[in-house]
Structure 1
């Protein structure tokens, strides 16, 4: 889908009633100006999920979940951003802009039906084909019941070159679906999957998009996957995700394993929250898809060198997806074990205990970085710092990145400033004491002028007209000042925006999390004192700007480089400074 114009999103959110949307899915009760409910995104007994009709925004003070009507549909109904926008637009009778309309892929539509028919044929052959006994016996040896095999749609591709061709016909479409192969030399067509246990790969909507085939006896490759097709992209899909979500709408954590049989074997033991990558390294797209399902992802790998290399690639591709409310861990299996064998050996509870002992992302990161860097020596610490900086740069700005910088700095025995310099900060990093704030704290630790101003603007956007020139905050050396300038500029141009609409404008922006927390912050300002509080905050920030400029002019004077204009400005600032009490935040 092409980019959706900001103006369309603004108009959409102005028409959508977030209370009506969420109350159609959750039981909510009015509490003052807001509505409360049990949070749908984590387990709780006391409601901490709040919906504000004035801000058109929801926030959970327990787990930190927050957002607009669009984000709610994405998280609760697991829609993509374009799908959520289209759904809401239909509900309020808005027509999607021409450039943003999704158009069905004419090449893809017939393939879904063909792939579903192939999956049905494979399931039938597992029950009825003359060679079925070998396949059924294999599954029994692996400890699978008929119920689990049916849940995952497991089938069997019999020996022979044209079973599927004769069953379904249509050579051209079978080749396009990745189910058959055409020889370039002769043009003849034959079945891709032969004498294999078949695992259908389903997308989020339950449609079959591809297959993985496991050889029954000795042979290579052990696993054969569908090729890339108009409906199947290995870097986006995950085997078992659809089945997992059928069993658990919001799993506490997701386990990423390497093999299809591992996924099914864990489900057989009562652990249905496992998925497998499709013969390639874990991609950032796959990780993002997992984090839309759960906030805790555990990667499970062999404990040998190959497993650690695969885990490191998974870590590198996970870092860009890390946000403040997400957690990734790494579980390494004993030599000679895989999840299938280990869960049969330990049982479900024993395996859960192993998962509970998995390394955190930061622990695995530091362990790998220090493998050839001796932190007892200056050279070793410098080497670790250099390697860590390259890795940390992949993490989006936010609390998680700040804490990771702290952790690496402590481990390398260097000052945080040195670590930030090595990372090449982008100006968004928070001060060290702010970074140590718990990631899900609903209340900012300090009541600064910037925070008060931003929080008031989010609730009362009409205040922006009294905020003066936004550009002046670009160079103010205070945490959050550039964000305040951006917010002032936006709301001076469009004072009708709600807090929810503002957050959509900042989707994916480094300041998105900070804005969300301030949107939910109780600034404790009574309504009749809002304008005075806002003017006071802006006056204190202007005083800080004057003080900052005065320090610069003092340096110019000390160095003998002050111009006549600067001298006049300096004297004016000194006069204005008298009697002014500066806010030290």
Structure 2
């Protein structure tokens, strides 16, 4: 570990945390015997190979070999760094991180984040109060059809036309003003005058998954350009990683069947107002890989619904190309194509919620949308165009990790182009399957590997070791690692596998420990203790045999001292037992 956060705090955090609860809120687990299983979220898993152990507080995938404790899961699944995963667990338990006294950049980052959370929340509440007091802003939203309930549900506010007006109206103290300036929430212009970057704009607060305000979107009510702006990026706000409206969706449904992705804040609000409770937006920015990962963590079906103009259609096609590498047998995308010059807000006002839901129901599947776009401008009577089509389509199809979907799309492409018959195509698939076989390396199950693996997987076995005196002088490879882990287990009798691995996270031996923690020893639980003790005895016996061989060889050449003769007699007696 880095030493920035005390070990005792991380151990306590892991002790308080049930890995089953944390994973189960993100992917649905099913209890099988004493463990829990599901399809692995880290590879295209057709059968459940992702196993989570309550006893060990540890997860392991038999398909792709990913494994670790709850911290590792958050790092890999949520794409967090180590500190962010500790923050995540701390938030769950309502704890503050007790950084060590030496000031570090990570410690500073943590406190900057806490300060930003506080400041964005404070100014968000002031913006909301200001909306009620400002008739022009309130009338604008009312004219757009936004109800009072939606204004409250999405915490909509308004930033006054000048900071002076806003500051006086709410009696903002100088200390708060300085904090807002220091954290770049408000700014100073060339004339040394304080201003709010959002002044004269409707404010749409952006929330993280816990409902904390992390940034803002602003829509002008005048003719100021640009029409929409977002907060600058901070320690808590990254545009490429935020989904507007997701917090509100999950307040109603923890794991929604769909997520409908639209372009604007008002689109999200108006569709939600019309009982379409699964609408989100990517803050007006292009979809990123991070956005897609977040969307698919929260649903199996993402539906893109953009404006019916050329820009909207181009955005939908661009999004599909970015999404293809994340599509699987269970994760898919669909597309709602709106009429020319219509957007979700305008169309639902014209057609009503029922007709809009029909559009969602009959949304274009990924394959139909793919070929609808890839075939644009293609003359199928031209061999040159067919060649161009295959060159353009195949790299996109091959980026899909699912064998089933990839083969299905290739078959459609083959029929369209007319260059492959069934036999040729099956031959090609067979070749592809052979090329994609993964050869997995399996470690040789030596005595020490098994012994250390059993101890990592069952730290309470350390209680069976009454003395290490016989092992300290052993020349057996791996003994120093075993003794090191044994010492840690004895000092921390309540450690589980997850806590033990966390203790050694940044040590030189962590990769060895992780590998051994996943070994399947094929030993029934009732016999684990017996096997562990037998292994210890076998290692001790091997050491004695090596010493015996040495003494015998020495006796033949040089002879033995009285003490050495006594030693070989004792060894012979012990080995014969």
Class of the TM-score when normalised by the shorter of the 2 chains: 0.5 to 0.7
Q: What is the match of residue 182 of structure 1?
A: 188
- Asked if 1:333 is matched to 2:338, the reply is yes
Q: What is the match of residue 323 of structure 2?
A: 318
Q: What is the match of residue 146 of structure 2?
A: 144
> Conserved in 2, the CA contact under 8 Å of 1:36 and 1:49?
no
Residues paired across the two proteins, number:
423
> Conserved in 2, the CA contact under 8 Å of 1:16 and 1:69?
no
| C-alpha separation in 2, matches of 1:161 and 1:25 | 42
> Conserved in 2, the CA contact under 8 Å of 1:111 and 1:231?
yes
For residues 442-477 of structure 1, the C-alpha deviation after alignment (integer angstroms, 9 at most, x for no partner) is: xxxxxxxxxxxxxxxxxxxxxxxxxxxxxxxxxxx9
> Conserved in 1, the CA contact under 8 Å of 2:37 and 2:52?
no
| C-alpha separation in 1, matches of 2:263 and 2:271 | 12
> Conserved in 1, the CA contact under 8 Å of 2:329 and 2:402?
no
| C-alpha separation in 1, matches of 2:269 and 2:59 | 39
SS at match of 2:152: helix
Q: What is the match of residue 548 of structure 2?
A: none
Equivalent residues in 2 for 1:225-374, closer than 5 Å: 225-374=230-379
TM-score, normalised relative to structure 2: 0.60
SS at match of 1:352: helix
Q: What is the match of residue 474 of structure 1?
A: none
For residues 391-448 of structure 1, the C-alpha deviation after alignment (integer angstroms, 9 at most, x for no partner) is: 335434654444433443333333399999xxxxxxxx9974899xxxxxxxxxxxxx
Deviation at 1:288, TM superposition (A): 0.7
> Conserved in 2, the CA contact under 8 Å of 1:212 and 1:223?
yes
Deviation at 1:306, TM superposition (A): 1.3
- Asked if 1:214 is matched to 2:214, the reply is no
SS at match of 2:110: coil
In structure 2, the CA distance between the partners of 1:182 and 1:406, relative to structure 1 (3 Å rule), is: farther
In structure 2, the CA distance between the partners of 1:80 and 1:273, relative to structure 1 (3 Å rule), is: farther
Equivalent residues in 2 for 1:502-517, closer than 5 Å: none
Deviation at 1:264, TM superposition (A): 0.6
Equivalent residues in 2 for 1:525-564, closer than 5 Å: none
> Conserved in 1, the CA contact under 8 Å of 2:162 and 2:195?
no
In structure 2, the CA distance between the partners of 1:125 and 1:372, relative to structure 1 (3 Å rule), is: same
Deviation at 1:180, TM superposition (A): 2.2
| C-alpha separation in 2, matches of 1:88 and 1:171 | 32
SS at match of 1:334: coil
Q: What is the match of residue 563 of structure 2?
A: none
> Conserved in 1, the CA contact under 8 Å of 2:159 and 2:199?
yes
Deviation at 1:207, TM superposition (A): 1.5
| C-alpha separation in 2, matches of 1:36 and 1:321 | 25
| C-alpha separation in 2, matches of 1:171 and 1:21 | 39
In structure 2, the CA distance between the partners of 1:176 and 1:236, relative to structure 1 (3 Å rule), is: farther
For residues 349-368 of structure 1, the C-alpha deviation after alignment (integer angstroms, 9 at most, x for no partner) is: 22111012222222222222
> Conserved in 2, the CA contact under 8 Å of 1:405 and 1:416?
no
Deviation at 1:245, TM superposition (A): 1.0
For residues 345-395 of structure 1, the C-alpha deviation after alignment (integer angstroms, 9 at most, x for no partner) is: 333222111012222222222222211222332211111111113333543
Larger of the two Rg values belongs to structure = 2
| C-alpha separation in 2, matches of 1:118 and 1:306 | 34
Deviation at 1:214, TM superposition (A): 1.4
| C-alpha separation in 1, matches of 2:128 and 2:89 | 38
| C-alpha separation in 1, matches of 2:306 and 2:113 | 34
For residues 310-330 of structure 1, the C-alpha deviation after alignment (integer angstroms, 9 at most, x for no partner) is: 112212221233233211112
Deviation at 1:38, TM superposition (A): 12
| C-alpha separation in 1, matches of 2:159 and 2:314 | 33
| C-alpha separation in 2, matches of 1:189 and 1:418 | 73
| C-alpha separation in 2, matches of 1:36 and 1:305 | 48
CA RMSD of aligned residues (A): 5.1
> Conserved in 2, the CA contact under 8 Å of 1:21 and 1:69?
no
Q: 1:113 aligns with which of 91, 115, 118?
A: 118
> Conserved in 1, the CA contact under 8 Å of 2:271 and 2:348?
yes
| C-alpha separation in 1, matches of 2:37 and 2:326 | 28
> Conserved in 2, the CA contact under 8 Å of 1:389 and 1:419?
no
TM-score, normalised relative to structure 1: 0.59
SS at match of 1:126: helix
For residues 17-75 of structure 1, the C-alpha deviation after alignment (integer angstroms, 9 at most, x for no partner) is: 877988999999987x4678999x9xxxxxx999786997799xxxxxx9987599769
In structure 2, the CA distance between the partners of 1:107 and 1:393, relative to structure 1 (3 Å rule), is: farther
For residues 252-272 of structure 1, the C-alpha deviation after alignment (integer angstroms, 9 at most, x for no partner) is: 000111110110111111112
For residues 520-572 of structure 1, the C-alpha deviation after alignment (integer angstroms, 9 at most, x for no partner) is: xxxxxxx9xxxxxxxxxxxxxxxxxxxxxxxxxxxxxxxxxxxxxxxxxxxxx
In structure 2, stretches of 5+ residues that fail to align are 3-12, 42-47, 458-496, 502-517, 519-523, 525-577
| C-alpha separation in 2, matches of 1:277 and 1:21 | 26
In structure 2, the CA distance between the partners of 1:102 and 1:409, relative to structure 1 (3 Å rule), is: farther
Q: What is the match of residue 162 of structure 2?
A: 160
Deviation at 1:179, TM superposition (A): 3.1
> Conserved in 2, the CA contact under 8 Å of 1:178 and 1:226?
no
For residues 220-266 of structure 1, the C-alpha deviation after alignment (integer angstroms, 9 at most, x for no partner) is: 22212212223221111111111111111111000111110110111
In structure 2, the CA distance between the partners of 1:399 and 1:318, relative to structure 1 (3 Å rule), is: same
| C-alpha separation in 2, matches of 1:383 and 1:276 | 34
- Asked if 1:124 is matched to 2:129, the reply is yes
Deviation at 1:125, TM superposition (A): 0.8
